Structure 1
Amino acid sequence: MSELKVGVFVDAENIKFNGGYQLRYDILRRFAARDGGTLLRLNTYLAFDQERAREDSEYAKKSHIYQQMVRDYGWKITVKTVRRFTDDEGNVTTKANADLDLAVDAMLQAENLDLILLVTGDGDFLQVVTALQNRGCRVELLGFKNVSKQLQRQVDAFYRGYLIPDLLPFSYELRNEWGEPGSCVRGVCTKWFADKGYGFLRFIKEVSPNLWVTDPRDSESPYESVFCHANELAESVTPEDLMNRDTVIEFYLEESEVNEGLIATNVRLVYSPNRSS
């Protein structure tokens, strides 16, 4: 078994408001340990609004239940209290920033870790990433949308959270068997022939240490290629979207009646860098 020592640090509030609402911490844990590494640190930084909790017992109850569920998966939770600020015009803003806590914890633990998975999209962590790498750590990044481009370029690997099997649930497919015929998955377009009206989509079949083997024709690849006809595209999905590899789409899988393999149906847009967030 690999002796790789792994630490995961989740900027939960940033993720919550940037596409990762309902992130599943059990799946995230499996993803972080996909290469057989030893998980030494599992840290997440959650916000809690004490003022709201005093006025809304249901909010307080749900927050505590959620925190306990995350702890049951083996995570250490740092709770940041929401603070309110009023400007000169009387406008109230709230903030529960955990950046400093996360950065300090990651730096202090770096000497005990080989790999750090940073779950955020916040470009303010750019210098932290550089410092961690200079201390000998490999730093990987997982985010959904509004992920800093500079941060993506600085880390050793970037993973779009939408594409990780089951990391985000499908609210309308509660018993979804990711990757099986009839299931719903999220993926990207690898080739699109606008003049011919078809192309090929790709999705991750399973969490694997071989995510770098992106060619589905390789027997060690965890990816699978799917044929897609233009008739299956929702109106919101344009050829320009599909030709951008950063675009994330979701679609159903059906067995082909013509050839062996799968075809994509009911293709919808999840995230496109061509659109405003």
Structure 2
Amino acid sequence: MHPWLGLDEDDRAAIFIDGANLYKTARNLGFDIDYKSLLKKTREESRLIRAYYYTSMQEDRDQDYSPLRPLVDWLDYNGYTMVTKIAREYTDAQGKKRYKGSVDIELAVDMVMLADKLDAIVLFTGNGDFRRAIEAVQGKGVKVTLVSTVKTTPPMASDDIRRMADHFIDLADLQGVIGRKGAPPRKTNEEEFFAEEDEF
């Protein structure tokens, strides 16, 4: 049995969550993430320095309510460092409102900048674009655990990024610990926004 998220109890660790990617991965596996349990368990099993959550979101203007606001606010008040970017709104060829936004650069830069203060990084994403950032922090002596899944069709985790990580943990194997208790997730406005964001 692997240590929790590949961490040792003396590891100075940080969590980096690619919000849109993790949401889509968990949804495809049929459960929601219990972020409170994730934070509590990681604090118990390591010297957690910081837990970051990255997401693009709609701008709150006039009465136009962002569907991500409740999640972002809850995480912000419950131990997570939020990194958000306003997604750009546009209209597609069918006249449907869509959003385009990415926080990949912010996540990669923060990983590299914080690496000198860490022994381990836990990265929740399957996006192969983070391969170079993983290589950079490993070059500073930091071990990297990647959390995604290969148990969906197609797999959510890029083969390149899986090979690069020191540990790969399938999100499906964590459901018993960080899966939110209750009914399977339903289609929500939040999911629609993530899906639109994730197309780019």
The match for 1:19 is 26
Partner deviation per Cα, 1:43-83 (whole Å, 9 max, x = no partner): 101221126x64544xx4x6333222212320011112111
TM-score if structure 1 supplies the norm length?
0.54
48, 66, 69: which one aligns with 1:39: 48
User: Structure 2 length normalisation: TM-score?
Assistant: 0.72
Q: How far apart are the structure 2 equivalents of 1:143 and 1:172? A: 22
1:175-254 superposed matches below 5 A? none
* Paired-residue identity, %: 24
Is 1:167 equivalent to 2:174 in the alignment?
Answer: no
The secondary structure found in structure 2 opposite 1:68 is helix
Listed one character per residue, the Cα deviations across residues 102-134 of structure 1 (whole Å, up to 9, x for unaligned) are: 000110000000000001110000111111111
8 Å CA contact 1:116–1:137 kept in 2: the answer is yes
Q: In the aligned structure 2, how far is the partner of 1:119 from the partner of 1:76?
A: 15
- Out of 68, 72, 81, the position equivalent to 1:76 is 81
> Shift of the alpha carbon at 1:34?
5.1
Structure with more of its chain in helix, by fraction: 2
Distance in 2 (alpha carbons) for counterparts of 1:26 and 1:5: 19
Q: Which runs of 5+ in 1 are unaligned?
A: 174-277
Query: 1:91, CA displacement in angstroms?
Result: 7.5
Partner of 2:69: 64
Aligned mates of 1:139, 1:65 — CA distance in 2: 30
Runs of at least 5 residues in structure 2 that lack an aligned partner in the other structure: 1-7, 150-154, 185-200
One-letter code aligned to 1:107:
V
- Of 12, 15, 40 in structure 2, the residue corresponding to residue 8 of structure 1 is 15
Is 1:121 the counterpart of 2:126? The answer is yes
Q: Counterpart of 2:68 in 1: which secondary structure?
A: helix
Question: Where does residue 162 of structure 2 map in the other structure?
Answer: 152
Question: For 1:10-57, what per-residue CA distance to the aligned partner results, in whole angstroms no more than 9, with x for missing partners?
Answer: 00011112335732211222343453x211121101221126x64544
Q: Is 2:108 the partner of 1:99?
A: no
Structure 1 counterpart of 2:16, one-letter code = F
If you compute each CA radius of gyration, which structure gives the higher value, 1 or 2? 1
Provide the aligned length of Structure 1 versus Structure 2: 168
Instruction: Give the Cα separation in 1 of the matches to 2:9 and 2:41.
Output: 15
SS in 1 for 2:178: coil
Structure 1: how far apart are the matches of 2:178 and 2:10?
Answer: 25
Distance 2:62 2:11 in 1: 44
CA 1:91 to 1:71, structure 2 compared with 1: closer, same or farther past 3 Å? closer
Aligned-residue RMSD, C-alpha? 2.7
Report the 3-state secondary structure (helix = DSSP H, G, I; strand = E; otherwise coil) of the residue aligned with 1:17. Answer: helix
